[in-house]
Every structure is written in C-alpha cells, then in structure tokens.
Chain A
C-alpha cells in the first residue's frame, strides 16, 4: 500500500502559484509599499551589519588596548571635588585621602578603588563617589560616631588613643574636637586583634554604646565622671563594669538590656544619700536585677575585719530596709523604691 501511495500523481494546488509579481505590474500604492518594505529590509540589514562591526571592533580593542574601552570618553581632568559628609571630615581630608593625580580625567577614575581608599580610614562608614560632568567628582560620606576610646600600641610605635565606634570598629579619629574626645571613657580589659596592621572590630559594642548613650542622656553629671569601661566580664557574665571618679566599680548587666532601669537605680542610690563623700561606695552592682542592689562601701580606717558596728553607713536608709547579714563583708542590700520620677 505504501508503494502505491508513494506513486500517487502530484496534484497542483493554488498554493503552487508564485505570488511574486514584477513591480511593473503593481499599482502605484503597491510599488510604494514595496519601496517601504525594501527600505526597511535594507535598514535592518544595515543595522545588523553595523552592530556586528561594532561588536567586532569592541572585541578587537579589548584584546589589543583595554584602556581604550575603559576610557572611551576623553574627559577633562578633575578640577573640583565636591565633598558632603554627615560628620566632621572636611573637603581637605577627602582630597588628601583620595590623592588624585592632577591630570586624572574624570572618566579614567577607578571609583571603586577610590571608595576603598576612603573606607580604609575606618571613620568612614559609607562612601558614594559620583562623576558629575564635566569636571567634578562628588563624594558623599557617612561617618562613624565614637562611643569609647582605647589606648593601643601597634608594633614598635608608641601607644596612642584610638576611637571605638558603635559597630566596634577601631579607628584613628580625625577632625574631632579634643574636648569631645576627652569626655569619652576608655575601653579596658579587651584583647584587640590586629590583622595586617589594622585592629579587628570589637564584638558586642552595640550594648556598650546603648549603655553609654542612656547614661549620657539621663545622668550627664554622673556620666562625666566615668573614666573606664571594662569589658573583662562582658563575654562570660554579660556584665559591663564602669570605673568612675566617685564610685570605683559600677557593674551593669546586659542580660535584660534594660539599661534605663539600671541607670535609674544608680541615680536613686546616689541621690538618696547612700553614697556620700565621706563614706564613698566601692562597688554598686546593678547586674543582680530586681529591686535589690548590692552596694559595697569603703571600709573606714581603723576598723577590724568582722566589726559589724563599723560596717553600717552613717546615713543609711531606715533600718527596716537593711537586711540581716551581708553576704559579703562590708556589704549590704538596699531595697530601692522608685519614686514617680521622670528621667
């Protein structure tokens, strides 16, 4: 059957008629359409050829002279650097740090490398560099704010004060007022790690920064006496120890992250007279939590160890608030009752 089918006569249908027609046989409108179609065809072919040639030229140039592709526009040298910052860094620092050659063209600049150069300082958190034609480089900077300072020594150089930002980045502060720097407590009891001459960021600085900012905002007088912030017990016990001018050791807990409450307790203890000049407190531990705050007073001169009479503060709160035996020598617990007081 298949052989029979294959030998069937070929029947011509109307589709076998050639539809092409000579332009002479066309009407004027038909010829017009043909011309438009021809022009479109030629235009497309030309565009394709042009695109192909462009790709070929680009590839050839890339292989032979890549710089020609990188700087296709021969722009004028950079004349102006427009610097905008939300901090203290000024245009001169930016210009100095970027250190652009005088003849550097705007299009030849490697903005990525320049940005890295700015970020290397540590003080710059983000930097955006934009070409502003014809001859201006726009630099927009966001800076880190210092929360602590730290005295550190790198290699054989002499020790110097560095600043610690909220995100733990340690950097050399530039452009800050010395009075502002003087108000920052020192960070202590932290082992700094150095990689290729740069200190690695200190972990957990967000909580320390929260504590300091809460203290600065609510108890500025007490905060001004804070000299050192020790992080010796921070990693293990979650405690931040502050050494101040008036109180040798104030311990803050970070478990609950409620620094506001701890600051309020500290302020109340100091204000209600538990701590006096002639009978200074050695230690206040706010990390215990709850309403009980262990306060350790300095032992008066001439008292023997175990002399309970001499341990009682002279201007203590009513006896009812004093608990029985202190758990540690020269220490007692105080019930703190918060008055309705706004900080």
Chain B
C-alpha cells in the first residue's frame, strides 16, 4: 500500500447531515484533502440508522458528490460511529512478571493485555474500541514496560461497545456503495484528536462534540482517552424546545435557534422582541429574545450537566489543565463555551482545527471527518513503519470491490 497513492474516504453519517471527505494518501506518509461532499441526512435518528434506504441514498449522494469533486474513486472508508447505543466500561488486569530476574518480557505484556481486554459482553453487543491506558509497573506509569524490571504489571482498557445491529447498519450503508470499511472510529475520538493538541491530551482535557442528534464526549489524561461516551441529546433538541415553547414549526425553530439561540442568557430586557423572518411578510411574528435565550440556554446547560453526571468521579477539575474543548455544529451558538465553563468549573473554549486545514473546512461541524482522515493517515503510516504487508498489489486492488 505504501508504494502507491491511496484514496481514503472519511464518512460521518450524522443526524442532520452526512459529511464525506476524500484524502489522497501518498506513500502512506502524507495526506491531501482533495474532495468534499455533504448532504442533508435522512433516515438517521440520534446517530443511528432508522431508515436504511433513506440513509443510504443520502450517504451515497454525499459520497458521489465527494468523488465527483475529487475526480477519483474511494478505495476504502474510515467511518465515524456515534449513537446513543454506545457505551463503555473500564476493565483492568494485573500479572506477576514471569522472569526470574523480574524483567518484563513481551509475553508478560501480551498476557496482561489479553486479560484486560477479555470481558464478556452482553448478548447483541460488540466492541468498537479497546482504548488502552498507560501500563503500571509496581504502581508507576510507564509507556512501554518491556525490559523494565518490576514485579507486578497492570494495565487497563476503556472498552467502547455498541449494539451489533446498529453498528452493522452503519457499515452496510457504506457497503451499499460497494466500498469497504477500513476502520470504524468513535466520533468523539476522531473530533477530539483533531481539536486538541498532544500536550492538551497529556495534561487533561475534556472534548465535547455537540452534534444535532447526539453529544459525544471524550476525556483525555496522560495522553490517552480515559473515558468516552455518548449522550443522545443534541442541537435538534434545542430546535424542538424552541418549536414547542414558541409554537413554531421545526424549520422556524431551527431558524430562530441559529439566529438568536445562545448558550447563556444575556438579554435583560423582557420586552426586547425579535422577528421570526424580519421581512415583514404575512405570518412574520415577533418573539421575546430573552425567552429564546432561556430556552436554548436551559437545554445547553442540561446537556453539559448530563455529560458531567455521566463522567462522575472521572472528571476532576484539577486534572483538567487544558479545560473543556467544544466542537460540533451546535457549539457555534454564542455563549456555548461560557455555559460549559460554568457547568464544569474549568476553562472552556471552542475547538479549532489546525492551521494547515483549509479555511472552508475549519468549521466545528467538520472536525469529526477531519479526525477520521487523521486516523487514516496514522494507521497507514504505522503500517508502513512496521513493514506490515497489506493487500496492496494489483490483484488486491482489482478484487477489492468485488
């Protein structure tokens, strides 16, 4: 694979939109974003496929648009996995170092890793990720314990698992386009990697990706993801709240949310009114700005509270040196970071894509797709570095789509 150019697709099937980006991997070492396609999502609710045909049509439209934009065909897809069905647990294991001289061997490491990952899941659940935390050798954190001397080796894994049928639905939507899924990556990990630096992740940071249907979060510490989770509440709930509270249609609620919604309440004048459309046409109405802000701020506050509650004792403000980083389409609402700072009691900011990303793709709504491409680049680079032989020959390419 390293000897040729490969075109990888990053696909995020979200509740409100499907985003596809195409990256050109050269020699497995450098990646250029050469194609972009976006389509309004259909048949997806809270990150899970509900209507296969509608979701497929929307996803395939976005894939076609991206391929048309890039002028190439996608070889394989890196797919984001979200949805309220995802859950996680922590499991750890320990072994006594087997060598007489107490030097940790590769066998010890392999044994403890297998033990830590081996935990039976309920029926119908399957693993999406096994995220390893740093090794501990006699209580001290070590990145690689091999050849170190100690007596007790411990390691823990944060295992993310989800419902088998919902994961399969997600994959089959892509397979319906006759493109293989190379990797399935948790959406919060993809976006978290993109909007935080390695230093942030080492010092401790909480990344919250507020999408339309779900809110994904990932808590990083010591350079790795400690906890991840998905809350099935997102920006669409803000729209729904506005629709119910102000007696609007969903479209009108979305419009009001985007124009006047806030994460915190700043309007002090109860009499301040804003127009629904502002064009003075028949049906145009006025609404109190404070009411709009109160509705949206309440829901935003609630989302953060739920996330905080889910994190529980894992979230220690003193350990979150880099604070909270917000991303996702809904995070563009004004006052969003202030609300997060108040709820979590640490600094909060909007995540930004690195400077080398094109200005048009630096919107918080694209951080997950960008993160998927980043994962694609890293996995290819690792494959090249380890000299791992992959299906890269002429025949492999030829039969890849069969």
Cα–Cα, bound, A1→B177 (Å): 46
User: Given A34-B402, A37-B402, A41-B398, do A14 and B176 touch, yes or no (CB 8 Å)?
Assistant: no
List of B residues within 8 angstroms of A13 by Cβ: 126-128
Is B167 a contact partner of A17 (Cβ separation < 8 A)? yes
Contact at A1–B98, with CB atoms within 8 Å?
yes
Query: Interface residues of A, CB < 8 Å — how many?
Result: 29
**Which chain A residues lie closer than 8 Å to B57 at the CB level?**
27
Residues in chain A near residue B309, CB distance under 8 A: none
B168 to A17, Cβ gap below 8 A?
yes
Residues of A within 8 A of B184 (CB): 14
Closest to A20 in B: B175
User: Which residues does chain A contribute within 8 Å of B342, judged by CB atoms?
Assistant: none
Contacts of A41 in B (CB 8 A): 398-399, 402
Is residue A16 contacting chain B, with contact meaning CB distance below 8 A?
yes
Name the interface residues of B57-87: CB closer than 8 Å to any CB of A. 57, 60, 63-64, 81
Give Cα A37–Cα B75 distance, bound, in whole angstroms: 13
Which of B64, B118, B177, B399 makes the CB contact (< 8 A) with A11?
B118
Report Cα–Cα, A38/B114, bound state, in Å: 40
Question: Could you say which residues of chain A place their CB within 8 Å of the CB of B98?
Answer: 1
Contact B60 A8 (CB under 8 A): no
List A contacts of B395 (CB < 8 A): 44
Say yes or no: B172 contacts A21, CB within 8 Å: yes
Chain A's closest residue to B126 (CB) is A12
- Please measure, in the bound complex, the distance between the C-alpha atom of A16 and the C-alpha atom of B162, giving whole angstroms: 13
Q: For the complex, is B254 an interface residue (Cβ under 8 Å from A)?
A: no
Tell yes or no: B178 within 8 A of A by CB.
yes
A16–B126 contact, CB under 8 A?
yes
Q: How far is the CB of B50 from chain A (nearest CB, A)?
A: 16
Q: Does B180 contact A (CB under 8 A)?
A: yes
0/1 interface trace, chain B 175-190, chain A, CB 8 Å (1 if under)? 1111111001000000
A6 nearest CB across to chain B (Å)? 10
Please judge, given known A-B contacts A11-B127, A37-B401, whether A25 and B52 are in contact too, CB under 8 Å. yes
A31 to B172, CA, bound (A): 14
Does chain B have a CB within 8 A of A30? yes
Q: Per-residue 0/1 for A4-44: is the Cβ within 8 Å of any B Cβ (1 yes, 0 no)? A: 11001101111011011100011101110110111011001
What is the CA–CA distance of A29 and B179 in the complex, to the nearest angstrom? 11
* A1 to B398 alpha-carbon distance, docked (Å): 45
Contact partner of B111 among A5, A17, A31, A44, CB < 8 A?
A5
User: How many residues on B have C-beta within 8 angstroms of the other chain's C-beta atoms?
Assistant: 39
Q: A64-96 interface mask toward B, CB cutoff 8 Å, 1 = contact, 0 = none?
A: 000000000000000000000000000000000
Query: Which residues of B (369-402) have their CB < 8 Å from a CB of A?
Result: 395, 398-402
CB-CB under 8 A from B281, the residues of chain A are: none
- Contacts A12-B164, A16-B126, A41-B398 known; A30 to B117 CB distance under 8 Å? no
The answer, among A1, A4, A34, A44, for a CB contact under 8 Å with B178, is A34
Given contacts A11-B127, A34-B402, A41-B398, contact A19 B52 (CB under 8 A): no
Q: State the CA gap A30–B180 with chains docked (Å).
A: 11
- A26-B398 in contact given A5-B111, A14-B128, A19-B171 (Cβ < 8 Å): no
Q: Check if A8 sits within 8 Å of B402, measured CB to CB.
A: no
* Cα distance A25–B114 in the bound complex, in angstroms: 37
Inter-chain contact B115/A5, CB cutoff 8 Å? yes
How far apart sit A44 and B121, CA to CA, in the bound complex (Å)? Answer: 44
* B127 touches which of A8, A14, A25 (Cβ 8 Å): A14
Q: Which residues of A contact B177 (CB under 8 A)?
A: 26-27, 29-30, 33
CA–CA, A2 to B176, complex, Å?
Answer: 43
User: A-side interface residues toward B, CB under 8 Å?
Assistant: 1-2, 4-5, 8-9, 11-14, 16-17, 19-21, 25-27, 29-31, 33-34, 36-38, 40-41, 44
In the A-B complex, the 3 residue pairs with the smallest Cβ-Cβ separation, listed nearest first, are A8-B118, A37-B401, A33-B178
Which residues of B approach A to under 8 Å, CB–CB?
52, 56-57, 60, 63-64, 81, 95, 98, 111, 114-115, 117-121, 126-128, 164, 167-168, 171-172, 175-181, 184, 395, 398-402
11 contacts between A and B (CB under 8 A): A4-B115, A5-B115, A11-B117, A11-B126, A17-B126, A25-B52, A25-B176, A27-B57, A29-B63, A29-B64, A37-B399
With A1-B98, A27-B57 known, 15 other A-B pairs at CB within 8 A are A5-B115, A8-B118, A11-B117, A11-B121, A13-B127, A14-B81, A20-B175, A21-B172, A25-B176, A26-B177, A30-B60, A30-B177, A33-B178, A37-B399, A38-B402
